[in-house]
Amino acid sequence: MGLGILMLAPLAILVFAISVLVQSWAASAKKMQRIPGSLGWPIVGETFDFIKEFSSPAGIYNFIQKRQQRYGKVFKSSVLGRFTVFMTGSEAGKILLTGKDGMVSLNLSYAGRQVLGPTSLLHQNGEFHRRLRRLIGEPLSINALKKYFNFINTLAVETLDQWSGRQILALEEASTFSLKVISNMIMSLEPTGEEQEKFRLNFKIMSRSFAALPFKIPGTAFYRGIKARDRMYEMLDAIIAERKTGNNFKQDFLESLVNKHTKDGNEEDDDNKLTDGQLKDNILTLLVAGHDTTTAALTWLMKFLEENPAVLETLREEHMGIQARGSGLTWSDVNNMPYTNKVLNETLRRATILPWFSRTAAADFEVDGCKINKGWSINLDVVSIHHDPVNFREPQKFDPSRYDEPLKPFSFLGFGSGPRMCPGINLAKLEISIFIHHLVCRYKWRPLERDDAIQPTLVRMPRNKYPIMVEPL
């Protein structure tokens, strides 16, 4: 009998643990009972539906749209082990993105916190977030970007020189181009060579881990991402150590931070200084900010232009007019492309490359008649905002003329809004304007397959990487 009791003990412990988890889950669920929606099964919630829709052609929008039709603009769910309130609309956008009266704080996923590190700008709130944003925002300001114009312009021409008469994957080409730009700006990494290839390989492995289930088990995407991140840290450690000796001076962002803003551990706390750990975490953050949005936007832009010949022709006229002056593309030209800016905005609206913004309620507040409690996770559904016929007539139509007139506040959130607007916005616009100028002045292209499916990643990109055949005009 004693042996039987010993054998039953682990089972009893397991049953007790599950019972405690279910009771805790039920207690938390009860607090949300006034919010419409379903929390699904205990503990598991609606995670399986969420993951299935995440990989569907329309991405997570399918999951949200089905529930909006049933429950309204605000509804609750339980996904990936987290109770979440999904919401949409201008009122919700204003509250969540401006952080009005300290109502919300950023809610970075567990995977994001682990990959980017504990001191990443994307993981900070309050005064420390403002300080970090000020320190690392320097290379992405319009004034700072001016000195990189010639490098970006030359790289765009050299990249497109390789396209004539070829079949290419536009997404891969855009990714390589944007990563070469941001890595050169930050640490003077040359666009070709062994170091660039090693860096690019590790960056891509790391990027894929953001949307992976956070299981740090060998063989998983998350585990591979953490290992790739660690290899990138080793590269940065070597570069930072060399810069501190003063033997390899470079006029880049890393040099500025090493000389002006880093501390050696013996100094008292200084608001204008960062430790090496903070420096590395935020260099990775800048790399992500300067790569993902540009890569996605440039790929979608090419896709939408091919699908809308009249828009492409009008855009080409603007750029042929610049080329006709015969002086080559200049910094002044890039800052005077009105139709190009409208096309880019419409691309960001239609594609909605950042489909939602995740926040945590920092205080109790009410939106659309629903009371939100402090501590709850909130997701703002941007896809629905961008495709609301109240804000955009015929929302599925690609129409840059929408931006001839001012838009309603918080109806267009291409790069976010408020204090957490994407820090890479100026760089993305500069890269895309330069690249598109040379592309439309030199080439025409056609897709090798028609497919609107979305990659199951946090930044929306075409699943097929948009394969095209490129030919000279």
Q: CA dist 350 to 299, 347, 468, Å?
A: 13, 5, 20
Range 216-244 average pLDDT: 87
Tell which residue, 166, 169, 82, has the closest CA to residue 358.
82
The region that residue 190 occupies, defined by phi over 0 for left and psi between -120 and 50 for alpha, beta otherwise, is: beta
Distances (CA, A) of 405 to 313, 317, 328, 346, 408: 22, 22, 31, 13, 10
Percentage of residues of the chain with pLDDT beyond 70: 82
Average pLDDT (160-170) is 96
465 contacts 369 by C-beta, under 8 angstroms: no
Q: Enumerate the β-bridge partners of residue 468.
A: 168, 447
Mean pLDDT value of segment 61-68:
86
Hey, is 455 helix, strand or coil? Answer: coil
Range in 16-25, 360-369, 462-471 the model is least confident about: 16-25
CA distances from 82 to 243, 358, 378 (A): 43, 12, 10
Average pLDDT over residues 291-309: 94
Is the Cα dihedral 329, 331, 333, 334 positive or negative?
Answer: positive
Q: Using one digit for the tens of pLDDT, what is the confidence trace for 197-216?
A: 888 888 888 887 776 777 78
Distance CA(469)–CA(471), nearest Å, equals 7
Largest CA distance in the chain: 96
**Nearest-CA neighbor of 85 among 71, 69, 98?**
71
| Structure-token pair, residue 212 | 């992976």
Q: For residue 310, give both structure tokens.
A: 């009249």
State both tokens at 387: 């495709």
Helix (H, G, I), strand (E, B) or coil at 274: strand
Return the pLDDT at 301: 97
Mean pLDDT score of the chain, rounded to an integer?
Answer: 82
Looking at residue 22, its pLDDT comes to: 55
Q: What is the mean pLDDT of residues 339-368?
A: 88
Q: Which pLDDT score is estimated for 1?
A: 47
In the predicted structure, residue 21 carries a pLDDT above the cut 60:
no
Tokens representing 353 are: 């490359």
What 8-state DSSP symbol labels residue 473?
A: -
Residue 115: CB partners within 8 Å, gap ≥ 6? 206, 209, 210, 225, 226, 229, 284
76 versus 301: which is more confidently predicted?
301
The mean-pLDDT minimum among 5-19, 157-171, 218-232, 303-317 falls in 5-19
pLDDT at residue 267, as a whole number: 47
Report the distance separating Cα 248 and Cα 236, nearest Å. Answer: 14
Mean pLDDT is lowest, of 19-28, 78-87, 142-151, for 19-28
| pLDDT bracket for residue 107 (50, 70, 90) | low
Residue 189 near residue 209 (C-beta atoms within 8 A): no
Average pLDDT over residues 421-436: 86
Sorting pLDDT into bands at 50, 70 and 90, what band is 122?
low
Q: What is the pLDDT of residue 297?
A: 94
pLDDT at 306 over 70: yes
Distance CA(60)–CA(40), nearest Å, equals 17
Strands 82-87 and 74-79 come out as antiparallel
At 466 the pLDDT is 96
Does the pLDDT of residue 58 top 70, yes or no? no
- The mean pLDDT value for 283-294 works out to 81
Nearest CA among 169, 168, 175 for reference residue 200: 175
Question: Which residues 6+ apart lie within 8 Å of 322 measured at CB?
Answer: 329, 333, 337, 437
Burial class (CB in 10 A: 0-12, 13-18, 19+), 29: middle
Rounded CA-CA distance 2/297 in Å is: 67
Length in residues, the chain: 473
Sheet with 377-381: list strands edge to edge.
Answer: 74-79, 82-87, 377-381, 356-361, 104-106
Tens digit of pLDDT for each residue in 137-146?
666 777 778 8
Q: Is 215 exposed, middle or buried (0-12, 13-18, 19+ CB in 10 A)?
A: exposed
Q: What is the pLDDT, as a whole number, of residue 451?
A: 86
- What tokens were used for 379? 């997701």
Q: What does the pLDDT look like over 75-90, one tens digit per residue?
A: 988 887 778 888 888 8
Q: For the sheet containing 467-472, what is the strand order?
A: 167-169, 467-472, 443-447
Q: What is the DSSP letter of 252?
A: S
